[in-house]
Amino acid sequence: MPLPYYVSPEQMMQDKAEYAKKGIAKGRSLIVMEYEDGVLMVADNPSASLYKISEVYDTIALSGAGKYSEFENLRKAGIRHADLKGFMYSREDVTGRSLANAYSQTLGTVFSQELKPMEVEILVVQVGDNGRPNELYRISFDGSIFDERGYAVIGGKSEAGQIFLKERYKNAPPLKEALALCISALENVTNQKLPLEGLEIAVLARDRVGRKFRRVPAAEARRLLA
Amino acid sequence: MPLFSGDYYSSSFFDYLVQHRPDLTPGGRGGVPSTPSGQVPDEHRSAAVPPITRATTVLAIKYRGGVVIAGDRRATEGFQIADRRIEKVFKIDEHSAMAIAGAAGPCIEMARLFQTELEHYEKLEGMPLSCEGKANKLGQMVKANLPMVFQGLVVLPIYVGYDRKRDEGRIFKYDITGGRYEESDYYAIGSGGKDARNLIREHFRKDLSEPDALSVALRALYAAADEDVGTGGPDFVRGIYPTAKVVSAAGIVDVEESRVRSVYAALLDGKKREG
């Protein structure tokens, strides 16, 4: 029996990270931004039915960049996690932090134990009500978790988007300004004009009662920007 | 709580519980009876078992723009009143509601589970279930409760929904085996259900207005409370009144207590004048 080649753990992790990063960068970008009355999510997504942004629970939404099938599995698992927790305890006990931790553990385990890491980067967003602040968690392919403030960009040339927003983002702008800023950031990253029909837009609106997630159709976005 | 529990691809929360968390399903065993044969408890045994809290008369009536669903507030344990303000009509989602009769604990649990079920499906699939789909799903849940029926824990719901495809309100009733039957005009269940149906039969017409349908519904509950000890009527002393919800194209709305009170006040005035 031939002996397998020895690969050092450092080398193996590096290879996996490079593989995952490449996969995620191939996709299109997605921006999450805090605005006056909640959190806005805008994805460069030409499909009208394969969503990159999803409702998870009353105040929690999930968005992801990278491989669609892997994101979809994570999304469904997250909704199951949240609904089970809400059913076992109560609706207010479902938190973005616990969901983000569960995702972090799952992605971390897959990254270190499976041959192929997951090619996804995800954002768990919770809109704060009753005077609590919003929470934005970015979870990387290897399970590392980052607590973001103000805005977050994932997928595609995400670094370029972050630099663009760093110069222009002011603390919690009105929805109209936030949407315009997100769109110009996405256009700047892709170097092309993006039609509103090619964007997936959703908000977690603090002023809504109960389930705060709502999709914003292109026609409504056009009226809002006019 | 692990995020991934095996390969699981269904969009049903109920099925998920049955497969992965049977301890959380109604009855706690995923529909498996706790006695080996699931036999009916005999009289001697049931005397030793503490009495079960039961909820009683609930009804639904169609009107021009949707459905009115209402229920009384009394829960009993044997010949004792267990609760004077129990809520038997539940909002399930933006376009549907259910009302329950039977053992109070499992009834409330089923309503909560059904709420989670519909929301879960909507989030996973990106679109809500059809009205028919929701009614069928509830039937499966009633069927899963069948082993509990033999232990005396009956759960019987009425489900009402606004079917946006057909543009009309719909009423579904169930039997203990999960059989699902659609009613074209009205229905009432529970210990005072028959009395309520008798009154509705006399006053029901097609295309009632919403206030008229509400009035018939509340009068039917009054009639049921008059004849049946298990059903509570309006309690002017404590300020407890039956609850009602209206399901229409615009969504589901709670009928305000002041409206219910004024209907009963007018009814009692009329009765006093008649002598």
The 10s digit of each residue's pLDDT in B162-191 is: 999 999 999 999 999 999 999 999 999 999
Lowest model confidence (mean pLDDT) among A84-93, A186-195, A208-217, B48-57: B48-57
Residue of A nearest to B124 (CA): A76
Lowest model confidence (mean pLDDT) among A24-28, B88-92, B257-261: A24-28
B116 at A interface, C-beta within 8 A: yes
The 10s digit of each residue's pLDDT in B114-144 is: 999 999 999 999 999 999 999 999 999 999 9
What is the helix (H) or strand (E) element at residue B107, kind and residue range?
helix B104-125
Flag whether A189 is in a domain.
yes
**Structural domains in chain A (count):** 1
Question: Is the CB of A102 less than 8 angstroms away from the CB of B3?
Answer: yes
The interface predicted TM-score of the complex, written ipTM, equals: 0.91
The predicted structure's pLDDT at residue B45: 46
Mean pLDDT of A99-127: 95
Q: Identify the active-site residue in B53, B56, B57, B231.
A: B56
Q: Tell me which DSSP letter residue B6 carries.
A: S
Report chain B's mean pLDDT, rounded to a whole number.
88
The fraction of chain A above a pLDDT of 70, given in percent, is: 100
B116: chain A residues, CB-CB within 8 Å? 83, 86-87
The 10s digit of each residue's pLDDT in A28-50 is: 999 999 999 999 999 999 998 89
CATH of domain B52-274: 3.60.20.10
Flag whether A50 is in a domain.
yes
- In this model, does residue B8 exceed pLDDT 90? no
Mark whether B76 is an active-site residue: no
The predicted structure's pLDDT at residue B24: 87
CATH number of the domain encompassing residue A87: 3.60.20.10
Mean pLDDT of B217-236: 94
The pTM is what?
0.90
Flag whether A54 is in a domain.
yes
The 10s digit of each residue's pLDDT in A140-166 is: 999 999 999 999 999 999 999 999 999
A102: chain B residues, CB-CB within 8 Å? 1, 3
Question: Would you list the DSSP string of chain A?
Answer: -PPPPP--HHHHHHHHHHHHHHHHHHS--EEEEEETTEEEEEEE---SSS-SEEEEETTEEEEEEE-HHHHHHHHHHHHHHHHHHHHHS-GGG--HHHHHHHHHHHHHHHHHHSSS---EEEEEEE---TTPPPEEEEE-TTS-EEEE-SEEEESSSHHHHHHHHHHH--SS--HHHHHHHHHHHHHHHHTS---GGGEEEEEEETTSSS--EEE--HHHHHHHH-
Question: Is the CB of A87 less than 8 angstroms away from the CB of B4?
Answer: no
Question: Is the CB of A78 less than 8 angstroms away from the CB of B112?
Answer: no
The 10s digit of each residue's pLDDT in A181-206 is: 999 999 999 999 999 999 999 999 99
Flag whether A64 is in a domain.
yes
The predicted structure's pLDDT at residue B29: 56
* CA gap B30, B80 in Å, rounded: 31
- In this model, does residue B9 exceed pLDDT 80? no
